[in-house]
Structure 1
Amino acid sequence: MPNKRQPFFRSSRLISIVTCAVLFILTGALQACGGSTNATSNSGTTITIAYGQYGPPPYYEQQWLDEVNKQFEAAHPSVKVKLLPIIADETGYYTKLALMMRSSNPPDIVHEDSFLISSDVNAGYLLPLDNYLNSWPEYKQQWTPSMQQMTTFNDHNYAIMTSTDVRCIWYNKNIFQKANLPSTWQPNNWADIISAARAIKAKEPDVIPMNLYSGVPLGEAASMQGFEMLLYGTNNPLYNYSTKKWVVSSPGFKDALNFVKTVYNPADLLGPTNDIELMPNANNVVPQQLIPESKLGIDIDGCWIARNWQPKGTTPWPEWKDVMGTAKMPTEFGQDPKYVTLSGGWSYAIGAHSPNKDLAFEWLKLAHGKDLLTKHTVLIGGTSPRKDSVDNPSYKNIPMSAFSTSLLEYTHFRPGFPAYPKISQEIGKAMQQVMQGQSPTDAMNAFSQAATAIAGPDNVEQKS
């Protein structure tokens, strides 16, 4: 800004220069808010996209990106899209992406694990998309509230979910028949699950009645697919978004631990023995060995495990479609909303320092249109976050697609805050403690103390 004493108003030429400068500053400020029109021509513009490339080919993400970019460049002849693949494992990808986003030449568009959005927002890497998304009616029409909430942090939305997943109950129909249980089964509450497991134990003593992932070695498989599937079915959260505090003690937390204790009670064991359940790779042993070998009756697990049984999967099993049934996970007492699931997934976001924000959002809109996003889901064999993908014939060919999509209205997700990974470890400890004989009350109290130390006393609360 010029010095107040400087008589810049005496020169019309200088007035013109200052006016242009102000317009330039205002234009840049509007672009930073995410909702402006680029002031300069797009001629010769290149937008860049950073994404992860894992393992051996085929690289399905790249195949999809190539198709999106082909259509985008056809619609914008003066614009080129450049892919920036990051070749690394998942952890390495997070590190390299962060380095790229803090560089002097950051990417315009980034592939974001929805779980890490909050930390990347805190680091100043991502652009809020609220203005853009408000101008695109399809978004609120086709992405469920939970899918929108997954990419929201501090009341601003920073990304669009591209892929997601859900969890459910699998059951073996042949084992159910032998246990005099229905071949079409939908438990109405937790008691129904325990009752079915006990019926299997009574009739088929050589079969493991049920599996609920639990204990420290399994990490997120235990805390997310096990404990949180239970906790959110009690209508008690792990994190209170209204008060912005972790809920470190609640009746629901205790009830969830009590369910774990019931499954792993050595006097009436319904789950796998510790030598199986406390293996770090138990979440591979279950779908790749125990289920196809008909050694497990009920499994609370991800809908995606059917990929193991496909012709090119780790354990091809053609009979699975006839043998295996699926059910929704009920709430504790069958109270509204009656069912519960947990979701994770990946999204695409715009870098906070992108010089091409408007074009980047045009790319996001195209990529997340019904046909292209459904193609992405078909390539990776996942669950589409768009509700209308179920109308696509190719999507219907994905095993479990219609069922998985129907679960999205009940979904919850992990609190994506920096404290969560450590709190998740404490959940695993609490589960393992009750497996080994500690009371749910004592295990919850130990968790409460540990979580309070992690998050800080001002950031936790207890519900009675």
Structure 2
Amino acid sequence: MNLQFKGLRLHILVLSLFLLCLIALPACGGSSSNGKTVIRVVYQQFGPPPYYEQQWWTKVKQQVEAANPKIEVQLQPIIADEGSYYTKLALQLRSNNPPDIVREDSFLISSDVTAGYLAPLDDYLKTWPDYSAQWFPSMQKITTFNGKNYGVMNGTDVRAIWYNKDIFQKAGLPTDWQPKTWADILTAAHTIKAKVPNVVPINLYSGIPMDEASTMQGFEMLLYGTKDPLYNYDTNKWIASSKGFQDSLDFVKEVYNPSNLLGPTNDIALSTQAGNTVAQQLLPKGKLAIDIDGSWLPGSWQKGGAAEWPEWQTTLGVAKMPTQNGDAPQSVTLSGGWAYSISARSSHKNEAFDVLKAAYSKDMLAFYDVKASQITPRKDVADVADYKNLPLSDFFTNLVSVTQFRPGFPAYPKISVEVDRAMQNVMQGQSSSDAMNAYYNAVQTIAGSDKVEKRP
């Protein structure tokens, strides 16, 4: 009797699961009850409104469905912070009912490709003349992994030097400042230290707590201005020991030398909140002279931002980050940003790509980039009046044509942590040579000794 009862329960459970699958099938399997093809779009949504991603995709949905009566676009935001979004997105992409179009951090495309989550788009992109003609080559390359393209960027960022013109004037420095070398930056910081008390001369993100901000806004803005990049694409190896790497660590060491501190104190620098402290306190309050940082900072200062500061446009100047010794190409910047990709397991890739093309038309993308204060990856959007009216849009957009980006390989996130560790070690007194040697050993462990090289 007990066995029969258990068998009956199992039968009911199986039947229930089967019926549940039938109910869920229209929404998850690509067809709605009215016979339309369903294209599901997944993206991140977090914090208080306005939600620019949602506004953009709502406009796209209306346009696509009006022009294509047989297509239904379903918008499915994932309500989560950035880290949780990655986790939840991965779960959806490996589920039996994956979405069709997904928002991908360009930083993680290689990992998701390796996991089998994303479809290559090259055959589709060849049929879309706008892509090759209008997307900056750097923005096409950033979504490429192992020779194939897996996404289309909808916005990007760049990095430069912000500086306080009032503090520069007090220090006797030019208010139209454009350093030509690293030495020019350090000289200005030392001058401010000597002549303007009670301000932080320079902020350079450094150390493990600030994670990728330390690597990208800090170290790589230095390293990419030397002759020794992080990765050798000719040999397919990580350059884990080089003069450029050690020189970059020496720059960090000088900024954070406790006997003549140019950077923020450790309670700020070695905090996960350093970025917020810089953008929302030190800069608006006139307590920081030089900040090597991103193009997104004005988002905190605009009306409704976390630290409204209408005076920023007259108080702050921007300068390009110079190469180490002023060698060609004279300046350095790096870009990240987000793209949209098509799931490798989507049942309707052709229709999904048609939806992507509609979302990335000149007018639609201009709407998004203006609303979200993004640097556009599409050249002709830069000529749209609303975009041109964004503060510093010309300065930042011009940097996109020469930008560089992080090596798009699955090992990079772990290697990035070791870069941060080397920076923190020199902040805390270790020599640059010892810190680099420890970094070299760590990269060998992560990538394999056959994927690592030294340069003299």
Whole-Å Cα distance in 2 between the matches of residues 450 and 435 of structure 1? 19
Whole-Å Cα distance in 2 between the matches of residues 444 and 93 of structure 1? 34
- Asked if 1:439 is matched to 2:431, the reply is yes
Structure 1 residue ranges (4+ consecutive) displaced by more than 4 angstroms after TM superposition? none
**TM-score normalised to the size of structure 1?**
0.88
User: Are the equivalent residues in 2 in contact too, given 1:210–1:297 (CA < 8 A)?
Assistant: yes
Whole-Å Cα distance in 2 between the matches of residues 242 and 128 of structure 1? 23
The one of 324, 329, 333 equivalent to 1:332 is 324
How far is the alpha carbon of 1:43 from its aligned partner?
6.6
Query: Counterpart of 2:153 in 1: which secondary structure?
Result: strand
How far is the alpha carbon of 1:171 from its aligned partner?
0.4
Query: Counterpart of 1:47 in 2: which secondary structure?
Result: strand
- Asked if 1:312 is matched to 2:304, the reply is yes
Whole-Å Cα distance in 1 between the matches of residues 89 and 300 of structure 2? 30
Give the letter aligned to residue 189 of structure 1.
T
| 2:274 aligned partner | 282
| 1:156 aligned partner | 148
Give the letter aligned to residue 93 of structure 1.
Y
Give the letter aligned to residue 186 of structure 1.
Q
Give the letter aligned to residue 258 of structure 1.
D
After superposition, residues 354-365 of structure 1 pair within 5 angstroms as: 354-365=346-357
Query: Counterpart of 2:180 in 1: which secondary structure?
Result: coil
| 2:183 aligned partner | 191
User: Are the equivalent residues in 2 in contact too, given 1:211–1:298 (CA < 8 A)?
Assistant: yes
Query: Counterpart of 1:299 in 2: which secondary structure?
Result: strand
How far is the alpha carbon of 1:181 from its aligned partner?
1.1
| 2:14 aligned partner | none
User: Are the equivalent residues in 2 in contact too, given 1:170–1:299 (CA < 8 A)?
Assistant: yes
| 2:388 aligned partner | 396
User: Are the equivalent residues in 2 in contact too, given 1:43–1:79 (CA < 8 A)?
Assistant: no
Give the count of matched residue pairs. Answer: 423
How far is the alpha carbon of 1:252 from its aligned partner?
0.9
User: Are the equivalent residues in 2 in contact too, given 1:113–1:346 (CA < 8 A)?
Assistant: yes
The one of 215, 219, 224 equivalent to 1:223 is 215
Instruction: Please identify, of 300-309 and 241-250, the stretch whose mean Cα deviation from structure 2 is larger.
Output: 241-250
How far is the alpha carbon of 1:52 from its aligned partner?
1.6
User: Are the equivalent residues in 2 in contact too, given 1:249–1:448 (CA < 8 A)?
Assistant: yes
Query: Counterpart of 1:415 in 2: which secondary structure?
Result: coil
Query: Counterpart of 1:449 in 2: which secondary structure?
Result: helix
Give the letter aligned to residue 281 of structure 2.
Q
Whole-Å Cα distance in 2 between the matches of residues 431 and 58 of structure 1? 37
Query: Counterpart of 2:75 in 1: which secondary structure?
Result: strand
What is the CA RMSD across the aligned residues, in angstroms? 1.6
| 1:379 aligned partner | 371
Deviation string 1:1-20 (CA, Å, 9 cap, x unpaired) is xxxxxxxxxxxxxxxxxxxx
- Asked if 1:424 is matched to 2:420, the reply is no
Unaligned runs of 5+ in 2: 1-33
| 2:57 aligned partner | 65
| 2:31 aligned partner | none
Deviation string 1:75-127 (CA, Å, 9 cap, x unpaired) is 21221111122222222221222222222222211111111111111111111
How far is the alpha carbon of 1:270 from its aligned partner?
1.6
Query: Counterpart of 1:104 in 2: which secondary structure?
Result: coil
Whole-Å Cα distance in 1 between the matches of residues 280 and 124 of structure 2? 44
- Asked if 1:166 is matched to 2:147, the reply is no
Unaligned runs of 5+ in 1: 1-41
Instruction: Please identify, of 260-269 and 319-328, the stretch whose mean Cα deviation from structure 2 is larger.
Output: 260-269
Whole-Å Cα distance in 2 between the matches of residues 45 and 303 of structure 1? 39
Whole-Å Cα distance in 2 between the matches of residues 348 and 230 of structure 1? 30
**TM-score normalised to the size of structure 2?**
0.90
How far is the alpha carbon of 1:226 from its aligned partner?
0.3
Whole-Å Cα distance in 2 between the matches of residues 58 and 293 of structure 1? 27
Give the letter aligned to residue 255 of structure 1.
D
Query: Counterpart of 1:271 in 2: which secondary structure?
Result: coil
